[in-house]
Structure 1
Amino acid sequence: MTETTAPRSSAPTLMRAIGYTASRPADDPAALVERAVPRPHVGPHDLLVEVRAVSVNPVDVKQRAHAGAHGFRVLGYDAAGVVTAKGEAVTLFDVGDHVYYAGALDRPGTNSQLHAVDERIVGRKPASLGWADAAALPLTTLTAYEALFHKLRLTATSAGTLLVVGAAGGVGSIMIQLAKVLAPGVRVIGTASRPESQAWVTSLGADAVVDHHGDLAANVLSAAPDGVDWIFTAASAKPGAVEAYVRIAKPFGQVVAIDDPHHLDVVSLKSKALSWHWEFMFARSMHHAADMIEQHRILDHVAELVDEGLVRTTATERLSPLDPEHLLAAHRIVESGRSIGKVVVSDE
């Protein structure tokens, strides 16, 4: 395999990486540590990226708290950085390009000095954004885009009502924007419980905001008396959630979920002939799907929307520098369940 690299004299064999050696709570200072680890191997379709910024997602928090470290495990999916080398089969990028991406579950994470990633799941970083603001977007953008346009099949001519449950979170924050820009005939209702999160959801373009505490169905039906056509949720595991969605949805409506309920009663969907979809943005890379390059196209498309001023970053908290202390602080914020938008950590 031939690796194309930027000129350098004596490339080091080790790099810095941040990970965990055992599952510890976020208030333990040793929950994340820095180690020197071998530089990544660059495969034929890989880019070697010098990481400038990352964001923390719920998947990072869950893995740190519950997944085995197997000695030392590097977390992180979202990243923005500079291409420093590329594999022999790479055709989409060159050394020196600025990129952003969400990585893959079956490879080491992005919380490292250098990171190898398949070019087919990488996009051009929005030129109008700094590293931190760009790193906030990839994972949630891919999730929202695939949910809206590949699962629910919304288009520029779609008309109806979309309910976004947990709209102030990372996915909801970008989903509202994508829906309003790419499916402008769709009315978007977001759920949020606190005044500051409700204000955030409104600022992103939601047509209405309702409280998801208490009787969710009654709250939504007060804003949409005839029900909704589409529901996005990251909270289908909550007690009574599915029953509420059945009450809220119009006949032949659709639900797309991204969380992990242990049990799901889909029989209750039958009376209204509702459809249930799962969205999992890692599926393409995990299974090396024939259309892996679709994620490259999505990220490039959204970069264009950002640079045109139609979509904005969802970063709300920016920590620096990119070290174990600040990454762990970001984990604590996400783990609190009260974060709005995205938390990013960078060397900016």
Structure 2
Amino acid sequence: MKAAVIDTYKQSMPKIKEVPIPDIRSNDVLVKIVAASINPIDIKTKDGGLKMLLSYDMPMIMGSDFAGIITVVGEKVTNFSVGDAVYGRVQKNRIGTFAEYIAVDQGDIALKPKNINFEEAASIPLVGLTSYQTLHDIMQIQPGEKVMIQGGSGGIGTIAIQIAKYLGAYVATTTSANNFDLVNSLGADYPINYQTTNFAEVLKDYDYVFDTRGGATLEDAFKIIKPGGKVVSIAGLPNYRFGKEYGVPLWKRLAFGIATRNLTKLEKQTQASYTFLFMKPSGAQLDILGHLIEAEIIKPVIDRIVPLTKVAEALSYSQSGRATGKIILQMTNDSEKEVRV
């Protein structure tokens, strides 16, 4: 099968190579991938930015989420059958969705929502699960509460806004003025032009902040959070508490604690909490998201669809930060698309 492969960390771009179709375990299904999506974590992984948390043997196939059709099921698989159209986010130690096939545990997939195509379905798993676990599981948003979502027109932001509104929140978000109409259409109540306005100067007393930027932007979140509020980041640094919860070795937890001393200080000063989220794959939560999509409460937002052979161009575009919604890699040609489920 064809796959986008890197041979070493910090390789400029992956190369398309022929590699063996993966073997499946007893709880796995083998999926013929129709489409996969590009996420910032793919670039961080390629560049070695997550080595403190995860390290991979090389060569490595890139990619974390996908949509496709099951071609083989393991002997212990009970929830799916050959021919099922599914979507999912693989476990972090089994990445490799920028390929024609993937072996994935049945617990990490769900049936594809019936009212969207494979490309749209592939755009959902990572950003949908990240947003749901942030807004529903950690923040536990209640109707009328206020949440600030960074980067409202990006892959995460476009889905997070919709989930936050479903949960009943008042939503502020940062984006460029050109994308105000988009984020308003998704439900944003207060779009802020990050190019001209610092959100920390116009917002106050927010219950929650969903940070997708890290750095100084993350620290600014504590300027608007109310006592008892929660700041959740997918772009900041893991702290000591995160390391303990995930069973990280003590030396790494201590390193996390030192690196996040300023965030710990800000927590104490504001009486708020800081959580670094490392999203967990969940077929059960994808099933929930699928029902919300079928009910037209959530809709995918796609910037562009490109063939696997142009993965380098797609990754470069992702790194530019100009994408509105998701960038999709397509594995099948147009003639195959006409007969898909």
TM-score by length of 1: 0.82
1:8 counterpart residue number = none
1:86 Cα shift?
A: 1.1
1:196 Cα shift?
A: 2.4
1:20 counterpart residue number = 6
- Cα gap change, 1:100 to 1:276, in 2 (>3 Å): same
Q: Is the 8 A contact 2:209 2:232 kept in 1?
A: yes
1:136 counterpart residue number = 123
1:189 counterpart residue number = 172
For residues 1-348 of structure 1, the aligned pairs below 5 Å read 15-23=1-9, 31-66=13-48, 71-155=58-142, 158-181=143-166, 183-184=167-168, 186-192=169-175, 194-213=176-195, 214-219=197-202, 221=203, 226-237=204-215, 239=216, 241-242=218-219, 244-261=220-237, 263-264=259-260, 265=262, 266-282=264-280, 295-319=282-306, 321-323=307-309, 326-346=310-330, 347=332, 348=337
Q: Is the 8 A contact 1:165 1:212 kept in 2?
A: no
- Cα gap change, 1:34 to 1:272, in 2 (>3 Å): closer
1:19 Cα shift?
A: 1.1
Q: Helix, strand or coil for the counterpart of 1:117?
A: strand
How many Å separate the matches in 1 of 2:14 and 2:300?
Answer: 27
1:87 Cα shift?
A: 1.1
1:35 Cα shift?
A: 2.0
Q: Helix, strand or coil for the counterpart of 1:38?
A: coil
- Cα gap change, 1:267 to 1:139, in 2 (>3 Å): same
- Cα gap change, 1:232 to 1:314, in 2 (>3 Å): same
Q: Is the 8 A contact 2:173 2:191 kept in 1?
A: yes
Q: Helix, strand or coil for the counterpart of 1:82?
A: strand
How many Å separate the matches in 2 of 1:240 and 1:231?
Answer: 11
2:249 counterpart residue number = none
How many Å separate the matches in 2 of 1:160 and 1:56?
Answer: 31
1:228 Cα shift?
A: 0.8
The count of aligned residue pairs is 304
How many Å separate the matches in 2 of 1:257 and 1:108?
Answer: 22
2:241 counterpart residue number = none
1:240 Cα shift?
A: 5.8
How many Å separate the matches in 1 of 2:102 and 2:165?
Answer: 34
2:242 counterpart residue number = none
Show CA shifts across 1:206-230 (max 9, x none): 01101334533113x2xxxx52111
Q: Is the 8 A contact 2:218 2:236 kept in 1?
A: no
Of residues 60-69 and 101-110 in structure 1, the stretch that sits farther from structure 2 once superposed is 60-69
- Cα gap change, 1:118 to 1:70, in 2 (>3 Å): closer
How many Å separate the matches in 1 of 2:194 and 2:187?
Answer: 18
Structure 2 runs not aligned, ≥5 long: 50-54, 238-255
- Cα gap change, 1:108 to 1:188, in 2 (>3 Å): closer
Q: Is the 8 A contact 2:177 2:193 kept in 1?
A: no
How many Å separate the matches in 2 of 1:254 and 1:205?
Answer: 21
Structure whose residues are more often helix by fraction = 2
2:251 counterpart residue number = none
How many Å separate the matches in 1 of 2:85 and 2:217?
Answer: 45
How many Å separate the matches in 2 of 1:254 and 1:240?
Answer: 15
- Cα gap change, 1:25 to 1:38, in 2 (>3 Å): closer
Of residues 51-60 and 37-46 in structure 1, the stretch that sits farther from structure 2 once superposed is 37-46
Q: Is the 8 A contact 2:35 2:119 kept in 1?
A: yes
Structure 1 runs not aligned, ≥5 long: 1-14, 286-294
- Cα gap change, 1:33 to 1:236, in 2 (>3 Å): closer
Q: Is the 8 A contact 1:56 1:344 kept in 2?
A: yes
1:71 Cα shift?
A: 4.7
- Cα gap change, 1:90 to 1:240, in 2 (>3 Å): closer
